[in-house]
Amino acid sequence: MIAPQSLLSRRTLLLSALAIGASACSREADAPASAPADEGEAAPPPQAAGDLPVVALLGDSITAGYGLPAKDALPAQLEAALAAAGTPVRVRAAGVSGDTTAGALARVDFSIQDDTDLCVVALAGNDLLQGIEPATMRANLVGIITRLKARNIPVLLAGMQAPPSYGAYATDFAAVFEGIAGDHDLPLYPFLLDGVALDPALNQDDGIHPNAAGVKVIAQRLAPAVAGALAGD
């Protein structure tokens, strides 16, 4: 196993990871107030918030909305994107900035509530920065998924990318997500930052965390995968 190059800064490491990911992934009108009985049944009333499916985002600073107000963070923007696409849900934030797969495994039982209809597991960026062995990261992710499945909570796995300069480490890192998705019959969203990584217009000044516009892109691209997972596709 080849460990990450120790002379590179943390920021350089993540920007490199984003680079490979970026290159790899280049209502109807309102009804009348009243209608004749022979025109069919009236539209059902809007669902109350308590009746909506619940989607939880288990992740790190990207899902936690680092540097952004709550209204611009991924939970709020994903909820808006799904509603606009005709899949109204409640999206719960369960992201902790700086979290690794090990940290999420330690808190998954209390961070994800029992009424969750789908958990999006979006981790591993910090594992990459810390040079955590892919086998360890895989074991942590499998532990998270196993605990969620034991509670009958479906999972959508969101992947991250490692730079090819990491050699065998990058190969093993990339294989983790597809391997887990295949072994555990999970839907996979290959790269959480697809369409956003390395675009200055879509990222904050650190070049790592998406700004509000970048989060909107993530939400719009992720929404169909979430809707499909909720539908069992």
Residue type at 197 in one-letter notation: A
Measured CA angle at 77 (ends 74, 79), to 5 deg = 105
Q: What is the pLDDT of residue 165?
A: 86
Catalytic residue among 109, 115, 183, 206: 206
Give mean pLDDT in consecutive 10-residue pieces for the chain, a chain of 233 residues.
42 48 38 38 52 97 97 98 98 98 98 98 95 97 98 97 87 95 97 93 95 98 98 87
Catalytic residue among 60, 99, 172, 209: 209
Q: What is the pLDDT of residue 162?
A: 84
Q: What is the pLDDT of residue 28?
A: 33
Active site residue 61: yes
- How would you write the chain as a 3-class SS string? CCCCCCCCCHHHHHHHHHHHHHHHCCCCCCCCCCCCHHHCCCCCCCCCHHHCCEEEEEECHHHHCCCCCHHHCHHHHHHHHHHHCCCCCEEEEEECCCCCHHHHHHHHHHHCCCCCCEEEEECCHHHHHCCCCHHHHHHHHHHHHHHHHHCCCCEEEECCCCCHHHCHHHHHHHHHHHHHHHHCCCCEECCCCCCCCCCHHHECCCCCCECHHHHHHHHHHHHHHHHHHHCCC
Active site residue 209: yes
- Alpha-carbon distance of 36 to 223, in angstroms, equals 37
Catalytic residue among 16, 61, 111, 172: 61
Q: What is the pLDDT of residue 38?
A: 42
Q: What is the pLDDT of residue 46?
A: 53
Active site residue 117: no
Q: Name beta bridge partners: 155.
A: 119
